Amino acid sequence: MANHRQPANNTDLFNPTEEHLALREMVRAFAEREVWPQAREYDRLEKFNRKLFEKAGDLGLHGITVPESMGGAGMDALASVIVHEELSAADPGFCLAYLAHAMLFVNNFYQNANAEQRARVLPKVISGKWVAGMGMSEPQAGTDALAMRTTAVRDGDDYILNGAKMWITNGAVDDTELGDCFLIYAKTGTAKGRALSSFLVEKGMPGFRLGQRIKDKLGMRASPTAELVFEDCRVPLANRIGEEGDSTMHMMRNLEIERLTLAAMSLGIARKSIEIMNNYASERHAFGQPIRAFGQIQKHLADSYAEYMAGRTYVYATAAELRLDSHGNRLDSDGVKLYCTTMAKNVADRAIQTLGGYGYVGEYHVERLWRDAKLLEIGGGTLEAHQKNIAQDLRRVATLR
């Protein structure tokens, strides 16, 4: 999958190379064949589909941004956007579990781990044999990540972690079993309370346990969410990622690709909602004609398509400029998520309205897409956080390019 081919059509913003187009075709076929058929059942059961997760590993999707020399696909941020758009169009819940693994853990870990850590862990997570996640949010620290209370205190060749992480995607793979490994952010040092370090915490480490498995969520029910608890959890020094105090920068850099791919998930939700709404508008008749002949339905269709294409263009333009090994594009990584998440929710809402009573029941899927869309306005940064960040960043911009 590495980007070694010449562009097939460099004017195609959404598939700029043959490699990107081949990736989209592969993932769309996988999503339609394997992901879509199971989505409704796993949403209803609030269950994580681990076998499907491993199949994504067989396709090379878990290491999409990791170089081929390390067992990955060697692709870029735009490729990540393609994967998330296509998977989310079939099952946003499954896609969110994928994002937490492939972006929040695998990409983050590769960018910041040392050679020994990469060699030991990457084969397990890229294959999908290990399910991984990232722990940043806490019961009292979500948007204000630097207010986290989890601490890591050096003790010889170990660190002792104490605290709890909340709302952790892939925290549990079923009601009683932890995920396999996590990147956990914790405070080390006292310099203005901002010195953060990150640690590879693995299932089975003494003092590390599963807390509350969070059930009865509005949406994203196929994505397991849990509390992680650390009680004098002993983590070897060899499991610290980077130098002590380096991880505030690690976290900020990873937030950019996280928010970009969450926006891409919104595109998948919007696209599938439009497809369902568009087909239904031709099939359903009222007063002797298809309902797409009525102005109210035309407005739902037209507004939805225009908003989707506006968001899609913004996401892919941002992805084309985002570098995975640096940071500095917070303005637009926040911007795409601010716009696209609400856009997707509104499009799914119009789809429900167009389908009427059928839209309100699970058989037609749009009610599931609407429920899943709401989480994207909260997770990975709230709308209010993006508004704050964008307003702050615009203070340094005299003119818009």
Catalytic center residues: 258
The rounded Cα 339 to chain-centroid distance in angstroms is 16
Q: How far apart are the first and last CA of the chain?
A: 33
CA distances from 97 to 27, 131, 179, 297, 401 (A): 16, 9, 11, 34, 36
Cβ–Cβ contacts within 10 Å for residue 79, how many?
A: 23
Name the residue among 23, 11, 26, 145 with its Cα closest to residue 77: 23
What token pair was written down for 223? Answer: 């994505």
- Which tokens hold the place of 309? 């294409």
Q: What phi and psi, each to the nearest 5 degrees, are found at residue 201?
A: -110, 125
Cα 348 from Cα 327, distance rounded (Å): 32
Q: For residue 116, give both structure tokens.
A: 């020994």
Other CB atoms within a 10 A radius of the CB of residue 253 amount to: 21
333: closest CA among 38, 56, 60, 103? 103
Q: How many helices (H) and strands (E) does the chain have?
A: 12, 10
